[in-house]
Structure 1
Amino acid sequence: MQSTTVLLLACEGTIPKFDYALFADTGWEPRAVYANLDRLRTFAGSKGIPVRTVTAGNIRTDALDPGHRFVSMPLHKAIATR
Structure 2
Amino acid sequence: DVLLTDDLVTYMKSTNAISQENEKIVEEIFLRGDLVKFAKTIPNQEIMSKDFAEIREFVKRSTKDIEVENLRSMNSGEQENFRNKNT
When normalised by structure 1's length, the TM-score is: 0.32
Question: Between Structure 1 and Structure 2, which shows a larger proportion of helix residues?
Answer: 2
With CA pairs under 8 Å and 6+ residues apart, which has the higher RCO, 1 or 2? 1
